[in-house]
């Protein structure tokens, strides 16, 4: 019986084995004494049966305990694995949150999240620093609790627009610093939901105050330039493409040799004053500007009523409506006859000089300080049997 118990035993259950042996012995002794006085011939058999039955019960209990112990070990192992997996997941989540917070807190842009009631559920440190409140103090607050009512109302209108359209939106907004300085912000707001379906508005914004000031200064500079151009007797013109009417300043009349009010004020009237040889080139320049959005920059000749030919330089821009349809074209015109005549004279002088050089029997060349050829005459080309294009930019080496 003991060997049977040992066979089915387990090191961690040896105390059950010894209890079974002891219980079996005690029962055998008890029944031996009890039966001794009443049963004689069959006592050993009865005692053996009882002992065997008790041993079987004990062995069954031991087996059951072994099964329970294995199940408990498996459960503990599964719990340990689940705990390790959960610990790893929690650590990964913590690291992800730290990376997100580190990224947002070191971003030059302010960032925030609000619920659909307008309460802040997140702000980065840049946001909190710019408006003088800690991130923790922002949580649960609305814009109306921090900003002036007009500013907060505008923020709320934009947030509700984002939620209503369920699309990202771009806004230019203003908000005061803690010292009262009003700054301009370029804001990007977008809707999103959490896993429970609760709606939020997220946003990031960058400070564009300095850029706005630069743009304002640029507009002032452009206005000063316009005044300077007027002082330089530049003419201005304005072509209404819908009505075909053209307006000229007094200076334009002077450039075209017309008395004040002598221009009939139509697009066709202007084209009639353009030199015929330059008309196609002018129309192409206008078409590129109107159709393709190219800058309108063209120089062309005009024919005055007295028969004289003048050169003018025209500059202009096309104005379009909300649909992109061109509606107006306006710009400046300047008499550049003197410059063009000077360029012609210079070109003629260069041609004369080239003729003299090319007909000279001497080898004539021009080099820069690095020894590269800048120019050679024809005699030089013939002597070395090289074309001018093959020589220019080269050295003797």
- 3-state helix, strand, coil split of the chain in percent (to 5) is 55, 20, 25
Residue 394 lies in a domain: yes
Query: In the chain, what's the furthest Cα-to-Cα distance?
Result: 164
Torsion over CA: 343, 348, 354, 357 (sign): negative
Q: Which residue has the tokens 């024809």?
A: 378
C-alpha–C-alpha distance, residues 299 and 42, integer Å: 140
258 vs 94, residue with greater confidence: 258
Residue 101 lies in a domain: no
Q: Which residue has the tokens 């929690």?
A: 90
Closest CA to 109 of 126, 132, 130, 129: 126
Residue 376 lies in a domain: yes
Are residues 369 and 334 both part of a single domain?
A: no
Are residues 120 and 204 both part of a single domain?
A: yes
* Tens-digit pLDDT profile for residues 287-328: 999 998 888 999 999 999 898 999 999 999 999 998 889 999
Instruction: Flag whether pLDDT at 46 surpasses 70.
Output: no
Are residues 205 and 266 both part of a single domain?
A: no
* Tens-digit pLDDT profile for residues 113-168: 999 999 999 998 888 888 888 888 889 999 999 999 999 999 999 999 999 999 99
Q: Report which listed range, 66-80, 89-103, 310-324, 350-364, is most confident.
A: 310-324
Are residues 197 and 124 both part of a single domain?
A: yes
Are residues 330 and 241 both part of a single domain?
A: yes
Residue 374 lies in a domain: yes
Q: What is residue 264's three-state secondary structure?
A: coil
Number of domains in the chain: 4
Torsion over CA: 103, 106, 109, 115 (sign): positive
Closest CA to 113 of 182, 162, 149, 176: 162
Residue 116 lies in a domain: yes
Are residues 200 and 289 both part of a single domain?
A: no
Q: If pLDDT is split at 50, 70 and 90, which confidence band does 219 have?
A: confident
Are residues 240 and 321 both part of a single domain?
A: yes
CB atoms within 10 A of CB 318: 20
The parent domain of residue 321 ranges over 232-341
CB 302 within 8 A of CB 274: yes
Here the tokens at position 55 are 């041993």
Q: What is the pTM of this model?
A: 0.43
Instruction: Flag whether pLDDT at 18 surpasses 70.
Output: no
Which residues is 237 bridged to in the sheet? Answer: 248, 331
pLDDT at res. 144: 95
Residue 227 lies in a domain: no
* Tens-digit pLDDT profile for residues 223-238: 887 677 666 668 889 9
CATH number of the structural domain spanning residue 260: 3.30.450.20
Instruction: Flag whether pLDDT at 26 surpasses 80.
Output: no
Backbone angles phi, psi at 164, to 5 degrees: -65, -40
> What is the length of the chain?
397
Here the tokens at position 111 are 């960032």
């Amino acid at each position: 019986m003991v060997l049977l118990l040992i066979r089915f035993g387990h090191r961690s259950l040896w105390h059950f084995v010894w209890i079974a042996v002891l219980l079996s012995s005690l029962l055998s002794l008890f029944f031996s004494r009890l039966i001794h006085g009443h049963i004689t011939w069959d006592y050993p058999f009865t005692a053996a049966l009882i002992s065997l039955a008790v041993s079987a019960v004990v062995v069954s209990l031991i087996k059951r305990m072994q099964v329970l112990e294995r199940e408990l070990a498996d459960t503990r192992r599964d719990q340990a694995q689940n705990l390790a997996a959960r610990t790893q997941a929690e650590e990964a989540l913590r690291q992800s949150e730290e990376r997100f917070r580190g990224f947002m807190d070191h971003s030059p842009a302010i960032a925030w999240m609000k619920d659909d009631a307008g309460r802040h559920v997140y702000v980065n440190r840049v946001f909190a620093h710019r408006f003088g409140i800690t991130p923790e103090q922002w949580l649960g607050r609305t814009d109306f609790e921090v900003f002036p009512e007009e500013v907060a109302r505008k923020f709320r209108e934009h947030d509700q627009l984002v939620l209503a359209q369920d699309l990202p939106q771009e806004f230019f907004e203003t908000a005061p610093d803690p010292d009262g300085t009003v700054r301009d912000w370029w804001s990007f707001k977008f809707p999103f939901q959490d896993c429970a379906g609760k709606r939020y508005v997220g946003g990031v914004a960058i400070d564009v105050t300095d850029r706005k000031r630069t743009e304002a200064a640029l507009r002032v500079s452009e206005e000063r330039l316009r005044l300077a151009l007027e002082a330089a007797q530049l003419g201005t013109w304005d072509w209404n493409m819908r009505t075909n009417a053209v307006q000229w300043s007094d200076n334009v009349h002077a450039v075209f040799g017309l008395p004040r009010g002598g221009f009939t004020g139509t697009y066709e009237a202007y084209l009639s004053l353009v030199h015929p040889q330059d008309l196609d080139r002018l129309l192409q320049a206008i078409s590129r500007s109107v159709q393709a959005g190219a800058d309108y920059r063209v120089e062309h000749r005009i024919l005055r009523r007295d028969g004289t030919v003048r050169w003018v330089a025209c500059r202009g821009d096309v104005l379009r409506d909300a649909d992109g349809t061109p509606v107006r074209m306006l710009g400046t015109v300047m008499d550049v006859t003197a410059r063009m005549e000077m360029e012609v004279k210079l070109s003629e002088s260069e041609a004369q000089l080239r003729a003299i050089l090319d007909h000279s029997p001497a080898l004539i060349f021009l080099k820069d300080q690095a020894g590269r050829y800048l120019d050679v005459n024809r005699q030089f080309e013939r002597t070395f049997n090289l074309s001018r294009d093959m020589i220019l930019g080269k050295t003797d080496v």
